[in-house]
Each structure stands twice: as structure tokens, then as C-alpha cells.
Structure 1
């Protein structure tokens, strides 16, 4: 699980649901953050600091008031750069010297300004969400949909999101728990397929470097549109998954999509396809070369596998708290191989 408990002040202020909680404009966000703060009392100072800065930058409820406040902030910031003593902005006499000392605050102001204009004009801004290798994130879209982003992934939210439709573009892997809205279909675009839903929970895995693309449905229904010259639509039911293999070399033959059932872990009844949302790396009967790609994303290291053994053996394993070296050592017990680590790169050979 991406951990909000690791967030600092700037991280909180870049979380759109946290800003809606501060503004009090979203009951769902208010309820979520109030409950989260109670469960994580150690983060109260960081939350308090973030809220104070939010109110400093956005202390009025009209667009005109916001622009005036921004001007005051910019003037105050310039005074600070010139070495003048500053203690307050507007009518809220809060000490802000510790905030102004951070150069990143200028970018933060721009970010919050965009969010505030959205609140006042009721427009949804363009938004991007990204994760690095070895990183997983959790966030909430403006419609209330919860998203978990797996490592090395990227989501772009359409400018008109939550108007007629709710459309996003995904590169990588993400789990969606879609807020119900019968008149506003939720659509996920990938390079090779589109997934259309009204309210459901599902997983999409569409990394550009992978040979296949897949969608796994937990509940509800989804309509998958396979793109290309042989375009077609496929409906999935709960506990089903669709796998679209790599495009045929000639490109004249359609990629044959297969529909199967989710693989359930008998230990806790969690589908292996979504186990990453429980902070588990699952290798399910895959060649060492493919396992290396999965491990690269998970651990944030570069792994190079000798071509002579990349497809020779297959591995099945589940890792939770193991380091990358502990995982490799466990895999060696199944089919031996050698590896060496140099800085942040691992080389695997026979």
C-alpha cells in the first residue's frame, strides 16, 4: 500500500483529496482524512503544517479573493528574499518564515493556484500521476474513484474529466475502485485496449515494454475494446481476466485475446493479479527474463539476465518483505543460477 504516513507537508498539499478536505468541499474527502488522521496521530504535526499553509495560500472563498491573496503572497515572498522580516499574510497572523525558506514553495503555489481556480470555476484541471521504479502510490480522482498505481506507471486525467465521461490514459499498471455514476462512464485508455465501466473494481496492466496487456475484473462489469485493424468488444464478468498477447509479427493476423479466471491465493482469498496492492510481488510460472523485469519495477534496480537462461526455466514465488537479494537467493533454491550486484545493477548468469 502506498503510505500516506510517509508524506511530508508538500506531499499532502499535492494530494487533490487532501486539498478538498482542507477546503471542506468534498464530504467523502473530509471523512477519509479525518479518519486517517485519527489512525495516524504521529502525522498530526505535518497535517497541521500543511493545512496552515493551505489556508495561507487560499484563505478566501471567491476567485477575486484568491487572486488578491496570491498577490499578497508574492509580495511577501519577494520581501523575504530581500531579507525583510515577515510574520503574517492577510488577516491570519501565522508564522510563515519556516515555509518561505523552502524554494519549492514557488512551485507549490502554482499547483495550489490551479487547484483553487478549479474550485471556483467548477472545472477539472488536467492532471498527471506517476510512480517511479520501486514505488507505489494511492490517490483519489475528483469523482471519488480510488486508484492505486504500481511501480513505474503513469496516469493522465483528461481535461474534461467528470463532465460527460470520466476518461484517463494509463501506461503501466493500476487498480481502480470506480465511484458509481450511471450517466458518466469511466474509461481507461491504453495503447492496445480501452476499458469502459460505470462502477466497478478492476486492475489494468499495460506496460509498454511487456509483450501482453491484461485486465482483471474484481466486481461489476467492464467492456473491453481491443484496438487496431481487428477491433472488437469483449464483456468481462467478475473474477474474469482478459489477456491480449503481443501483436503478430506480420500484423496481418489479429492478436487472439484469451479470457480466463483469476488465480486466488488460498491463504487469504486474494487474487494473485491484484496482490501487488497488498504489497506482494507475485511471480506466477514465468521465465527468469520476465521475472527480472517484474523485479526491476518492484525493487527499483537494473537486472540483466544472460540470454542463455532468460527463457530456460520458469519461476513461481510470492515476496512480501524480502529484499531483492533475499528474493534472488530464494529463487536459486528452485533452479540454481549465479548473480552479482554492482552498485544498483544485478547481473544473472548460468
Structure 2
């Protein structure tokens, strides 16, 4: 009876998770009970159990983007769960980007090693080394490994919006989250554009949009929290 009773108690407690939620337009740094440091980007949520330090594995649940500096503990692996993937480490530095509305999930490794597996099939796993990334396509349910500049992919933690061969649509989503605005793209030409570079997020959104439109191809109309992008009329 004692063990059954305690099993029920533990199961009940596991449903009540500690949660950190970052509103749009903000970033925050979280210190977990084991000493791990997590930087959370705008529109992100991190959850973990109140019994985090007592469990055999250090499990956290991420929605959005997080930069992790994991405290080493070979006896208790650190596991980040997203809706599609599970990232298992012992102690390392990496970045995970897993927003619900994005078509892909990306894991970039800065230091150490990580093992990334699919929630739907844990036998399908990939081990990453520094400056390697894993990209998971949600629609195809496929993973691929590639080479990356991992430190560049974490520039957002220093106050810069970084993008490498990024589509105009994806870039606008990042700007929406960072500046807490809604951007409506009515330009077919813009949707085909690819961008690379970085932007200081201390700039106003007007300055950011002007910086992106180097060739002066578009017009930007803002009304309250809504921005509309259109082709410039000749």
C-alpha cells in the first residue's frame, strides 16, 4: 500500500510543471536547479518538473528557441523535449529552435556532443559534433545533418537578429516575435527573396525594415501593430 500510495503521489506531482514563459518582444535568462543556464528567445516557453533534481534524467520541455549551457553530470543525462525531437546530452552548449508555426526544427551544437532522436521513432537518431546542426522537416518527418557556424546561430543571445540564407517569410516571422508586431506580406517578389546578415535589435523596427530593403524594392505601411509589405510601384 505504501508504494502504491507514493506512486500515485509522484504521478500526480509530475503533471504540475514549473514554467517560464517569455512574451513576444522579450528575452530572458533562466538558471535551472542543477546550475544549467538557459537563454530563452521571445515567444518561448520552458517547463520542468519540481522534482527535477531527484529524477534519473534532467528533463525539460521547450517550445520556441533556447540556448543551453548544460551543467555536466554524466550520471544524470540532460534531455530537452520538443514536440518532434528529443535532444540528449551530458554537459554541453547548444541552441534549439522549435516554434510551433515554423516548418522546421533546428539544433545547432557549439560545444560537446548531443544525440538527437525523433519522438515518433527513437531508433532514428543523429549524433552532432561542434559546428554541426540537425534540421528536422515537420511535414516530411525527416532529419538531415549539416555543417554550420554554431556561434553565429546563437547571436540572438547577444542582442542581434542573425539570418543565413533565410527566406523573407522566415525573416519576417523573427521580426514579428522580436518586435511584437504582425507583418502581412502582400509582395510576391518579397516572398522569393533570400537574406543573410545580422541586425542589432536595439534599432527601431523602422530602421530594421529600411536596412532589409537595401534595393528599395518595397513599401512598408504601418498602422498600430500591423505592418503591410507591398511592391513599390514604378
> What TM-score results when the alignment is normalised by the length of structure 1?
0.58
Partner of 2:35: 144
Query: Do 1:313 and 1:335's aligned partners in 2 also have CA atoms closer than 8 Å?
Result: no
Partner of 1:297: 177
1:338 aligned to which of 191, 214, 219: 219
1:155 aligned to which of 38, 46, 54: 46
Aligned: 1:173 with 2:65: yes
In structure 2, list runs of 5 or more residues that go unmatched. 1-15
Q: Residues 1-350 of structure 1 correspond to what in structure 2 (within 5 A)?
A: 126-163=17-54, 164-228=56-120, 231-248=123-140, 255-263=141-149, 271-306=151-186, 308-320=188-200, 321-334=202-215, 336-350=217-231
Deviation at 1:196, TM superposition (A): 0.5
Looking at structure 2, the residues matched to 209 and 203 of structure 1 have their Cα atoms a distance apart, in angstroms, of 18
RMSD: 1.7
Looking at structure 1, the residues matched to 99 and 105 of structure 2 have their Cα atoms a distance apart, in angstroms, of 7
Query: Do 2:62 and 2:98's aligned partners in 1 also have CA atoms closer than 8 Å?
Result: yes
Deviation at 1:230, TM superposition (A): 7.9
Query: Do 2:57 and 2:77's aligned partners in 1 also have CA atoms closer than 8 Å?
Result: yes
Higher Cα radius of gyration = 1
* Total equivalences in the alignment: 214
Looking at structure 2, the residues matched to 191 and 287 of structure 1 have their Cα atoms a distance apart, in angstroms, of 23
Residue 158 and residue 309 in structure 1: after superposition, are their counterparts in 2 closer, same or farther (change >3 A)? farther
Greater length-normalized contact order (CA 8 Å, ≥ 6 residues apart): 2
SS at match of 1:290: helix
- Higher fraction of helix: 1
> What TM-score results when the alignment is normalised by the length of structure 2?
0.86
In structure 1, list runs of 5 or more residues that go unmatched. 1-124, 249-254, 265-270
Describe the superposition over 1:263-295 as per-residue Cα deviations: whole angstroms up to 9, x where unpaired. Answer: 27xxxxxx2210101110012222221111010
Describe the superposition over 1:70-121 as per-residue Cα deviations: whole angstroms up to 9, x where unpaired. Answer: xxxxxxxxxxxxxxxxxxxxxxxxxxxxxxxxxxxxxxxxxxxxxxxxxxxx
- Higher fraction of strand: 2
